[in-house]
Structure 1
Amino acid sequence: MNIKELTTPCFLLDLDTMEKNIERFQRIANENNTQLWPMLKTHKSTEITRMQMEAGAAGVLTGTLDEAEAVVEKAGVKRVMLAYPVLGVANIKRVIELNKKAEVYIALDGIEGAREVSALLGEEEINYLIIFDSGLGRFGVSPEAAPSLVREIEELANLKFAGICTHTGQVYGVSGKEEVPGVIKAEVEATQRIVKNLEEAGFKPEIVATGTTPTFFEAVKSDLINASRPGNYVFFDAIQIALGAATVEECSLTVMATILSKPKSDLFILDCGSKCLGLDKGAHGTSLTEGFGMVKGHPELLMAGLSEEVAKVKITGKTDLKVGDRVEIIPNHSCSAANMTSYLTGHRGGEVERFIEVDIRGNSNKPKMI
């Protein structure tokens, strides 16, 4: 089957391109003696997780407990980091059960959460990473406050200090790609400060983890950083292009849509809307993208507006497209777009090879009734 035979809208995944992205990031990590722990929230797929692990990933980073449980049970992953603190009795019990099946690293940035986890551990021991703030201003303690927090946690039972982690998501809020090096500088400098402070206090972090896709290429060169946790690199998207982290050719995920109407001389209507592409322009307010996606190969088209099921596309220059033609759209944010579908259509050169399930979206695991 050729992709031209597919109904629209549909989510296309260029397998050759994705495989090159996975191989490239793993190779760069290996060359810099850095472990790669891919963030799974981008694709939420156990099959793609297996591909990343087979390429050489040391473990995975997950945004949800569903992701963590699914990749351990379905993809055979043995080492899992949780990106955010997990609190609440029901949630912590799930983590404790998962820790019996895999090497789990929880993330902490306060003593309250640590106490709650410790109280439920019983005889179990679990690894923890201290989240530190490298400029995003979301989770995390300052590099200066980290030693006192570790001292407090070390008084609790069965919590084992394993290292530190940070996410430099502020890179997605820069006003131009020329500002990206400054974010990387802040990432590395904050890492240097926290490692120095912890070592002076007698704590040696085994894992020093940072990571976003745009900062990966330079931050991975740091002698201190030994674990990198990018996620978006498997697909890339219009935001990554704007930040200089990717080219159009490196974007493996697109949404294929049909031109349904041309109600005005300068307007097309497509059969894909916010329920395919999302209204997302980045979690941290980037102004670098124009419109709601990039029409591949057609710079004369601007994705001007999205309803739930259709898109308004402004024609800004001469085009040879007409009603009935199909176009491929690179999403602004591929992580959000991929979460809109249950499967991706994997193809090579336009020939469909297989369908890849997006099988660990939110609330994938229903609770068991007792």
Structure 2
Amino acid sequence: MLRTNQLTTPSFLVDLDKMELNIREMAELCKTNGKKLCPMVKTHKSTGVAALQAAHGADNFLVGTLDEAERLQQQGYQELVLAYPVAAAENIARVIDLAKRAHVILSFDGVEAAAEFEAMLLQEQIALEYLIIIDCGLHRFGVQPDIVLTLAQDLSKFSRLKFKGIATHPGHVYGKSTAAEVAAVAKAEIDALEKAADLLSNAGYAVEIVATGSTPTVPFAARSKMITTLRPGNYIFYDAIQVALGVVPPERCSLTVLATVIANPDKNLFIMDAGSKCLGLDKGAHSVSLVNGYGIIKDHPELMVESLSEEVGKIRVNGNTGIKVGDKIEIIPNHACAAANMTSFLTGHRNGICERTIAVDARGGSNMKAHSL
């Protein structure tokens, strides 16, 4: 039996017991509160992980890229939601081709991309459903709740596009630093959706889907009677930023990077063989630093990942340590979604015993046909 400490480094590890617990817990939260679960696939970009989510109650999948959507469809998943608007003829053609093999729901926050879809859908003589994106404070995609009716009316002129509901993403929660601030974001998230849904319903629109998702605010959103669908992503791994927000303790983080200490240039400085191309450079969001350093080194509170080059990292010692050159260490990334995208596979283990390899098979560029000349 191969153990994780026998692997070459750097390696990306997933504690299967922890990941499966995270998946079960979220599925139970949705079931208990009567919500559909639509996990965001960009976190793991793996059809193997998606299979675990489906086995534990995921009703459909939210995707950040067309590659993710196509890979999932190839594995037999038929219920897919595009998180972002899609524009340009080449991209729209991929969506329409996919929609001939799966049930695809679009997302819009304006009429321009919708008009492009309408023209191509008329040629194909098919129709697609869509959600209107609501801005609940992130100020990235979406319209303010009080003008959602105007957009709905503008989109209703397209005969090949069918309104299905509304969605939002409170991503600005990652720019907060306390539990109270997280709760405030969640309240604004819920208020925005409820206001938009009420306006649309009162105007005669059938709002079948009211969807939202961010791992820190999901427990709050689950309590809203109007919200129908939860769309978290990070929960399968969790990470150092989730720990800093108070969402979970470090023990719940399932994704780690295994590295080797390769140099000791100074008494209080070590170098490891994992850098920004493994751990990323995230320290928070929206100019707010939630963490110290670039990850949590497990079982070594005296160590901090001080800085990262592309392939190596500096570890600063604060106090006494028994670490030495040749030792292997595990680092919980600050942002698991970014770290998991740095590799082609994860090594799944239980109690340090390697059990299986999990392909990260839905990354950008995974569809060779779509990108070939």
TM range, smaller chain: over 0.9
- Gap runs ≥5 in structure 2: none
Matches within 5 A, 1:309-328: 309-328=311-330
Other-structure match for 1:102: 102
Matched, 1:232 2:234: yes
| Length-normalised TM-score, structure 1 | 0.98
CA shift, 1:98, in A, is 1.1
Rounded to whole Å, the distance in 2 between the matches of 1:293 and 1:236 is 12
Distance in 2 (alpha carbons) for counterparts of 1:359 and 1:233: 19
- The structure 2 residue matched to 1:345, chosen from 330, 347, 355, is 347
- Write the deviation string for residues 306-330 of structure 1: whole angstroms up to 9, x where unpaired: 0111110100111121111111000
Greater Cα offset, 152-161 or 25-34: 152-161
Of 152-161 and 61-70, more deviation after overlay is shown by: 152-161
Secondary structure at the counterpart of residue 354 of structure 2: strand
Tell me how far 1:283 sits from its aligned partner.
4.4
The answer for the alignment partner of 1:293 in structure 2 is 295
Aligned pairs for 1:59-78 (under 5 A) are: 59-74=60-75, 76-78=76-78
Residue 36 (structure 2) pairs with residue 35 (structure 1): yes
**Cα offset for 1:298?**
1.0
SS at match of 1:101: coil
Whichever residue aligns with residue 234 of structure 1, its letter is I
Distance in 2 separating the partners of 1:323 and 1:164: 54
- C-alpha change, 1:174 and 1:283, in structure 2 (3 Å) is closer
1:182-261 equivalent positions in 2, closer than 5 A: 182-261=184-263
Deviation readout 1:104-139 (Å, 9 max, x if unpaired):
110000011111111100211100000010000000
Runs of 5+ unmatched residues, structure 1? none
Given residue 294 of structure 1, which amino acid in structure 2 is its aligned partner?
Answer: I
- Please name the residue that 2:82 is paired with: 82
Aligned length: 369
RMSD: 1.1
Give the Cα–Cα distance (whole angstroms) in 2 for the partners of residues 285 and 222 of structure 1.
30
Instruction: Specify the alignment match of 1:50 in structure 2.
Output: 51
Distance 1:150 1:25 in 2: 32
Tell me the alpha carbon deviations over residues 63-99 of structure 1, each in whole angstroms, 9 at most, x when there is no partner.
Answer: 000000100112x111100010000101111111111
2:18 alignment counterpart: 17
Percent of aligned pairs with the same amino acid? 51
Q: 2:176 aligns with which of 158, 166, 174?
A: 174
2:96 aligned with 1:116: no
Other-structure match for 1:147? 149
1:361 alignment counterpart: 363
Is contact 1:176-1:288 (8 Å) kept? no
- Matched to 1:109, the amino acid is D
Mapped contact 2:295–2:334 kept (Cα < 8 A): yes
Cα deviation 1:44-79 (Å, max 9, x = unaligned): 0010011111111010000000000100112x1111
Q: Which string of whole-angstrom CA distances, capped at 9 and with x for unpartnered residues, describes residues 229-249 of structure 1?
A: 000001000000011111111
Amino acid of the residue matched to residue 281 of structure 1?
Answer: K
